[in-house]
Structures are given as structure tokens and as C-alpha cells.
Amino acid sequence: MALHAVEFPPATHDFQTFLGQAEPNMQVVLHGYIGQRADLSKKLSFVRLTDPTMKYSIQVVAFGKNDATEKLKSLNAHSPVAVRGKVQKKKGKNTDAGDKPAEEKWELALEDVHPLNDFPKDIIMTPETVFAPEHRYLQLRSDAELRDALQFRAEVRNECKKELENCQPPFVEIETPLLFKSTPEGAREFLVPTRRAGLAYALPQSPQQYKQILMASGIPRYFQFARCFRDEDLRADRQPEFTQLDLEMSFATGEDVMRTIEGVVRRLWANLMQDPAPEGPFRRRSYQEVMAKYGSDKPDTRYGMELMRLDHLLPADLVMKISPLENPIVEAFKLESQNNDPAATLKFIGQFLDSPAGAPFNNNPDGGPGVFVYNGKQPLCGLQPFGFEAAEQIEELLEPDHGDLIIIQARPRAPFAGGATPVGDLRRALHGHAVSAGFSPSPTGFDFMWVVDFPLFSPSSDSEPGQGGAAGFSSTHHPFTAPKTAADVDMLLADPTKVVADHYDLVVNGVELGGGSRRIHDAAVQEFILRDILQMKPERLVDFEHLLDALRAGCPPHAGLALGFDRLVAVLLGKESVRDVIAFPKTGKGGDDAMVRAPSPMTEEALETYHLRLRK
């Protein structure tokens, strides 16, 4: 076994400084990784040395038969080394030209090389190699874009921090505990068993309760880059642990929070982006409005395809053909054809609906999409099934051109609930497919908006535990969000499902960047909502006693928000997945870390320590 030296010569320069100061005969020691060696003869070899940041490199020349050359020849490409050498002008054509980068003007005549470790010969590493998640370190090492993303992420963090600390009064960065306790805030938690029999911590799904207690503690403005943990399905590019830029302000309303966040966003765009900084205040749209117009509470508003209600126009036999529902709502949207070719449109939509992406829409139990291609050469331009009168009105509503696609879709006649309707999902999926198939242009720019006036409560679902109350509904956001107006407080008793929340989400290009709310700061109202409206069991209600006590202790009104920090960085970089901006993301359905192989089985010993027994 060849051991590598514990001691190695310090570098005389980092590459950037070195390249700025290089001159003939300068003696230097440089650290870095060696590249593929080229042996021109027994006595002459070349190799590139890449610096530790992997941003710069320089040519090293080994001349003559000597120890240093021998050592160099024993090394595999990508091995880390310390190289001692003498600077000389690079030979060859045009190396003197003024516009040559310094890397091409100079080279190093090798005097000694200290191997610092080996890189295995059997690992092929090129900038294009894609490594399995088990070898994330190799992916990071070979993929400059990935490393740049991590550096950019750090810059985003600094900019956010500067903006918040420059506010008046400034936000104060405060860490809150990661060993928290289980409370029915909304998401499924991760438990951390302790050595005390039957006692467990829970990892925080967000610092929500601690930050509200900070408001009761006389901290006027708090922020934190907070690690949050949610044991959720990993669909939709989520991670079981993720980072939020979390903040809270006392003596404040949602207006103050939205203004603060607009400042953060503007600063990020002004300092880190090529695109112009978005101008404020960002426009606001109500939940009802975006659900009706786009079928989504986080719509991408850059490409039209707005939904229109058609049910009042449609002949009954057509409705029966597209849906088994009695008296459904029917919505339509139009996808423009770029080349006004009905045959191409038909082919495009056929391909989409036959693909796996189209399957959930075809299989919608409320009926699949009805597809029409507007065609000037056909009777009623292809809208014959609508009948003469409806076809005319649809033309007026949707203003289709030759070759445009018209989709209609039924849904049950019920108030909006949740994040999207099937037609909203179809609009998004179809547009995505149209862009990747070259049928539609890719939308550009950033379109920010606040989605406001969410319902305070939503029907409970199997996928989200909510607060586990007996009311049949759960908090849309979390149970600490305040009703919007005094009338909404009154409505709590009459019909909780109609109560509007003082809740705001920041949405850009179809992505929810974050959300927040004005909080209930009155303990009696908070308790009333938990106990009487959500109908939580008394034994779960006591889990919130700490918060109720803090509110009771003269807590000022307060409001806050959290931005999904991973998502924010991904949006800034135009990345599809948050995995591209996280050093060690979890993969797979189970939220595995394939590299360290977590989660791992609990040993008998550990089970004993924590007083646990596995159920068969």
C-alpha cells in the first residue's frame, strides 16, 4: 500500500493571483489536479494542471529523465498534486499575442511533483459523464455547472441576508431548534426517538411556532435560513428536507411582509440576474380568480391559454358525450398553432393524449378532454358538434385562428378546493409538451404575482394529515393563519368553508416561491379555531399549549412568510429540479440518500436503546 505524504508543500500562489503575476523564471508551488498526460518522447511530456477551483489551468512540461518526470508518469489523470516548477513563456505560435489568456501564455517547467492521492484508473470522468446518485461527489467534481449552482446559491443567500439586515428596523437572524415536538401543524413529521422510553422529538416542518413565539418575545423582526422536514410523497420535485428563507415581523400586516419580500426579490434580480428587476408592487390575484382563469393556484401566466366557462352554451348531447356528470361545469381553452396547419395540430394533440403524460387526462373519471381543431375548410370550422349558435359564441369567446386547438373539459359543479383542477393540470401539461415538441415557443421572462384570499379551510385529504380534527376539513395553509376581515371572523360560525384567509403566496412562472400569512395573535381566537372549528381532540390541542400561552402573554399582531429557498435558487438559474441546486439531494420515492445509503436499518442495539420493537 503506497501511503501518501502527510506533509506537503504549501502553494506559493492561488492560480488567479499567479496568472496575474507570472513572469519568466519565477519559482512556484501550485496545488491542483493533473490532467491526461501526453508523452511526446521518452524525455518530453506535457500535462495540464487544473487548480483546486477547477476554473484555471496551466501547462506543465516535464523535460529530461529525472525523478520528477518518473513521479509524474506514475500518476493517473485527476489525481491531486502539489507541483513545484519554474515559470517560462509557453512556446509555440502566437503565445505572445496580447489577447491570449494568461493561462495560454505561460507554462511550468516541472521540478518536482508531490502526489497527494490517487484517482482510480477505472473511473472515467469527463465533463459529460453522468454518475449514479451513489457517486454524487464525482458528479459534483466533473460537473462545473453543478458546482457553479452551489456557489450561486451561496450568493443568493448573502443577498437575501443583506437586504433583510438593511431594513429598518433590521431583521435579526436567529436559529430555532431542530429537535422540536410533534404538533399537528399540517404535514407529516419525522420523529426522533430518545433514550427515554416512549418520548420522541419531532423535526420541525417549519419554524412556524418558534418564530411566532419570538414575536411574543420582543423580537420585532426575525429571519432564518431554516432547514425544514416533511415526510411527504416526493412527487413534484420535493425533498423531505429542504431550506426556507423564513421570516416574521411583529406589529405588522401581510402588506408589510409582501413589501419586504418584493424588496428581496428586486435585489436578487438587480444584483444577480441579467433580466431586468421586476417592478413592484407585484400584482395581486385572488385564489378564486386564478383558479377560474388558469385552473391552478400557481399558474404560469406568460402564455395565455386562459380558461373560459362554456357550460351555459353547450348542447346537452355534447355535454353527455364528454362527461358522465350531471350538470357539470365545462371549461375551454385554446392553444394557438404557430403555422396554422390543422393536420399538424391534430397530430400534436394525438401524440400528447397517447403518451404517458396524456394518460391521466384520458382516464379522468369525470370525462376526458374534448378536442377540436379550428379549421376554416370544414363546416362550422370544425366546431360542428357545438351546433351553429354555440359555435359562433365560442368563436367570439376564444377567437381561434385556422389550425388552433380548442380543448373542453368537464368538472363537478363545486367550489374550488386544492391547488389545481384537472383542466388546469391539462393546460400546464399540454403547454409543457407543446414547448418540448416545438409546437409552441418557450415563454420568457419572469411574471411575479401574489395569489391572495385563499379559503381558510380546505377539505381534508388522505395525502396530507392536516390537523387531524373531526371537522372534515383542515387549514389550507396552517392553523395559525388569520381570517382576513372581521366579516370572515363572523363567518367562522356560520360557514367555515366560506372564510377567506389573510394568506398570500408568491408565484412566478407557474412556481410557488413561497407563502405566508397574517397570524392569529389572540389566544382565544386561536383556541376557538383549533377546538371548535377544526374540532381537534383535547389531547392534540394540548400540543399547542406553548403557543397559546405565548399569545396570551401580550403577543403583538404579527405576520410572516417563508420562501422555498431551494426552489428560489432553481428558478433564478432556470433549473427544472431543486436537485440541481442542492449538494446532496435525496432521491427516489423513499427519500433515500443513495450515496450514504440512508435511511438504514436500525440495529437490535439501537432498538433497545430507544425502547423500540419492530412490528412484524
d(CA 163, CA 268): 9
192 to 221, contacts with ligand ASP by CB under 6 A? 206, 208
Beta carbon of residue 301, minimum distance to ligand ASP (angstroms, whole number): 22
Least distance (Å) between residue 181 CB and ligand ASP: 16
Nearer to ligand ASP by C-beta: 423 or 562? Answer: 562
User: By C-beta, is 314 or 507 nearer to ligand ASP?
Assistant: 507
210 vs 374 by CB, closer to ligand ASP:
210
Matching residue, cell 477505472: 122
For residue 176, the minimal CB distance to ligand ASP (Å) is 11
Q: How many residues bind ligand ASP (CB under 6 A)?
A: 9
Q: Which is nearer to ligand ASP, 206 or 243 (CB)?
A: 206
- Smallest distance from the beta carbon of 562 to ligand ASP, in angstroms? 4
Q: How far is the CB of 516 from ligand ASP (least distance, A)?
A: 4
179 neighbors 201 (Cβ within 8 angstroms): yes
Least distance (Å) from ligand ASP to the CB of residue 477? 6
Q: Contacts with ligand ASP in 546-565 (CB under 6 A)?
A: 560-562
- Of 32 and 560, CB closest to ligand ASP: 560
The answer to whether the beta carbons of residues 338 and 404 sit under 8 Å apart is: no
Per CB under 6 A, contacts with ligand ASP among 30-89 are: none
4, 82 Cβ separation under 8 angstroms: no
Residue 475, CB-side half-sphere exposure with 13 Å CA sphere: 25
- Find the shortest distance in angstroms from Cβ 417 to ligand ASP: 18
Q: What's the DSSP call for residue 322?
A: H
Which residues sit opposite 560 in a β-bridge?
A: 248, 517
Helices (H), 219-336: 254-272, 287-294, 316-322
Residue showing the smallest CB distance to ligand ASP in the complex: 206
Whether 338 and 439 have beta carbons less than 8 Å apart is answered as yes
Q: Which residues, 106 to 135, sit near ligand ASP by CB under 6 A? A: none
Query: SS3 for 368-420, per residue?
Result: CCEEEECCCCCHHHHCHHHHHHHHHHHHHHHCCCCCCEEEEEEECCCCCCCCE
Shortest gap between Cβ of 227 and ligand ASP (angstroms)? Answer: 12
Shorter beta-carbon distance to ligand ASP: residue 206 or 260: 206
Separation CA 465–CA 443 (nearest Å): 36
Residues 6+ apart with CB under 8 A from 605: none
Task: Rank residues 15 and 210 by Cβ distance to ligand ASP and give the closer one.
Answer: 210
Helix (H) or strand (E) holding 140: helix 136-142
The answer to whether the peptide bond before residue 599 is cis (omega within 30 degrees of 0) is yes
What CA–CA distances, in Å, run from 288 to 118, 174, 416, 468, 592?
61, 36, 7, 26, 38
* Residue closer to ligand ASP, measured from CB, 469 or 564: 564
Tell me whether residue 313 or residue 563 sits nearer to ligand ASP (CB atom): 563
CB 183, min distance to ligand ASP, A: 12
* Closest CB 482 distance from ligand ASP, rounded Å: 11
Query: Is the CB of residue 480 less than 8 Å from the CB of residue 213?
Result: no
90 or 478: whose CB is closer to ligand ASP?
Answer: 478
447 alpha-carbon distance from chain centroid = 17
CB closer to ligand ASP, 164 vs 562: 562
**Closer to ligand ASP by Cβ: residue 208 or 239:** 208
Q: Which residue, 322 or 452, is less far from ligand ASP as judged by CB?
A: 452
Query: Scanning residues 321 to 360, which ones bind ligand ASP (CB under 6 A)?
Result: none
Phi then psi dihedrals of residue 353, to 5 deg: -70, -25
* Closer residue to ligand ASP (CB): 32 or 186: 186
CB atoms within 10 A of CB 24: 9
For the record, the C-alpha cell of 177 comes out as 431548534
Max intra-chain CA distance, the chain: 93
Q: How far is CA 460 from CA 189, 306, 312, 472, in A?
A: 17, 28, 31, 6
From the CB of 100, what's the least distance to ligand ASP, in Å?
52
Min dist. Cβ of residue 515 to ligand ASP (A)? 5
Task: Determine the 3-state secondary structure of 532 from DSSP.
Answer: helix
Question: Is 572:273 a contact under the CB 8 Å cutoff?
Answer: yes
Distance, C-alpha 59 to centroid of its chain: 40
Q: How far is the CB of 238 from ligand ASP (least distance, A)?
A: 13
Least distance (Å) from ligand ASP to the CB of residue 497?
Answer: 21
Cell digits for 510? 407557474
Contacts of 543 (CB under 8 A, 6+ apart): 181, 182, 183, 184
Task: Work out how close the CB of 261 gets to ligand ASP at its nearest, in angstroms, rounded to a whole number.
Answer: 11
Nearest CB to ligand ASP, comparing residues 90 and 211: 211
CB 538 within 8 A of CB 545: no
486-545: which residues touch ligand ASP (CB under 6 A)?
515-517
Q: Output the CA–CA distances (angstroms, integers) from residue 305 to 218, 282, 361, 410, 431, in the order listed.
A: 48, 21, 17, 17, 9
Binding of ligand ASP by 176 (CB under 6 A): no
**Contact residues for ligand ASP (CB under 6 A)?**
206, 208, 478, 515-517, 560-562
